[in-house]
Structure 1
Amino acid sequence: MMKKLVALSWPFLISTVSYTQANHFPKGAYMSFEEISNKNPSKQLELEIIKRTDFDIKMNGGNDYKFESNNGSVSKKTIKKEIWAYSTGDTLYINCLKFSIQTWYAPIISDGKYLIVKAGLSNYAAEQKKQLKTTGNGWNATGGAINGARLATLRFLYAIDKNTQKAITVTSGAMQDILKDRNDLLVQFNAETKKNDEFICLKYLKLLNNDL
């Protein structure tokens, strides 16, 4: 039996969990980005979703969810590296490794022009430095085990561009480019007093995706 999911830690997501259900993805394993875009999984695999513990994340890094095959018919390598996304029937979990944002899976928050997801640090050192500056605590991507464990728990909002398949760290600056073809939304966004607030950024990302 599928293990019961625990409440998501981000308060806004708790109040808007239906966001992950607004764009239905049929149950199954998506083996390419094209399959995700077409909402057409090519494999029907019975996988169990596991909410990873804080200890596991701090020790091994990666995102909040993983999948396992109860009967061993699907290898760990396939689950960890080959599947692009897996839908439980009501929520799509993307394989963040495919987008260079750590290992394991994270649920999408919104789907449309962009796939919106909250996940760990970027795999790219240059992007990590930019991300860590936004935390305001002076952390760096190197250091001892304690610092590494703390870094493993950081989560950032990403917009995955369906054209380039690249994950863009969502900041007020990035929103200028993301909204450049929707001047109406861009004007409204720039009128906001808290443009760096994730709640505000997500609001406009969902409007852009026609997901509100």
Structure 2
Amino acid sequence: MRTQFAHLLLFLFCLPIFAQNTTYPKGGYATLQELLNRTPTDQYSVEVEQRTEGKIKMNGGNDFQLNPLDKSVKKSFLRNELLAYSDGVNLLINGYPYEIQVWYAKVEAENAQYFVFRAGLPSNFKRYGLEPSQMQYMFGGIISGIGAAKRALIRVPYILDKETDTMHLLSEENILSFIGDNASLAEQFANEPEKGNVDTLMRYLTAWVNGNP
């Protein structure tokens, strides 16, 4: 009984430590190394704005915007130069340095090697080994035949390699080159009726980085 009680105390003591290690301290991160070290460049006095569909349709960009609350922080710096921002709960990755439009996307899953999130279509298709004409056939054809405003709302999966700082756009064409080392997941994906569906792709990527079968 005493042994069980001691184990319970040890579990309760370790739980907050584990939770703390899965979050990033509040502040802005100028480089990937700072982010991996969990050492913000600065706290920065900013407001995190979840952008409306109307604003995205009109101006493009990703789902979250940082608005400076004091004059010492320039909006252009937040938009174009800062790599990431954490509010202490959610981690936001800036798409601009990786040519994925402007503003920030929320990380949905991660492990020791990758960040996984969804963001807008790339600003530079060639960086991701694509031609614009190819996109209309990807992701179940959701991009085909729609105007610029609706295209601005489309979100597709990305993973950022923490070791190489390389961003990858994930689709049904290349997902197995990542999740293929998990035989069970790869087999399940092979039997998916809608392999190009973004939610399906994200579900498998999340399961993969979490180490789920």
TM-fit CA distance, 1:73? 2.0
Aligned equivalents of 1:156, 1:137: Cα separation in 2: 11
The 8 Å contact of residues 58 and 149 in structure 1, kept in 2 or not, is answered as yes
The 8 Å contact of residues 64 and 105 in structure 1, kept in 2 or not, is answered as yes
Unmatched 5+ stretches in structure 2: 1-19
How do 1:15-26 and structure 2 match up within 5 A? 23-26=22-25
The 8 Å contact of residues 86 and 93 in structure 1, kept in 2 or not, is answered as yes
SS in 2 for 1:77: helix
2:74 counterpart of 1:72:
no
2:133 counterpart of 1:129:
yes
How do 1:1-212 and structure 2 match up within 5 A? 23-112=22-111, 113-126=113-126, 127=130, 128-134=132-138, 135-136=141-142, 138-139=144-145, 147-210=147-210
TM-fit CA distance, 1:191? 3.9
SS in 1 for 2:115: strand
Aligned equivalents of 1:49, 1:118: Cα separation in 2: 18
SS in 1 for 2:189: helix
* Shift in alpha-carbon separation, 1:198–1:56, aligned structure 2, 3 A: closer
Question: Partner of 2:13 in structure 1?
Answer: none
TM-fit CA distance, 1:211? 6.7
Alpha-carbon displacement from aligned partner over 1:77-124 (angstroms, at most 9, x marks no partner): 210111100000000111111221110111111111221111111112
Aligned equivalents of 1:160, 1:64: Cα separation in 2: 18
With 98-107 and 184-193 compared, the bigger mean Cα shift is at 184-193
Give me the TM-score of the superposition, normalised by structure 2: 0.76
% identical aligned pairs = 30
Unmatched 5+ stretches in structure 1: 1-20, 141-146
With 45-54 and 85-94 compared, the bigger mean Cα shift is at 45-54
Alpha-carbon displacement from aligned partner over 1:11-65 (angstroms, at most 9, x marks no partner): xxxxxxxxxx993111110110112223322211121011222232222211111
TM-fit CA distance, 1:153? 1.6
Question: Partner of 1:14 in structure 2?
Answer: none
Q: Deviation above 6 Å: which 4+ runs of structure 1? A: none
TM-fit CA distance, 1:201? 2.4
The 8 Å contact of residues 106 and 118 in structure 1, kept in 2 or not, is answered as yes
Aligned equivalents of 2:21, 2:157: Cα separation in 1: 19
Paired letter, 1:97: Y
Pairwise CA RMSD: 2.4
The 8 Å contact of residues 143 and 151 in structure 2, kept in 1 or not, is answered as no
Aligned equivalents of 1:155, 1:179: Cα separation in 2: 20
* Shift in alpha-carbon separation, 1:208–1:139, aligned structure 2, 3 A: same
SS in 2 for 1:150: helix
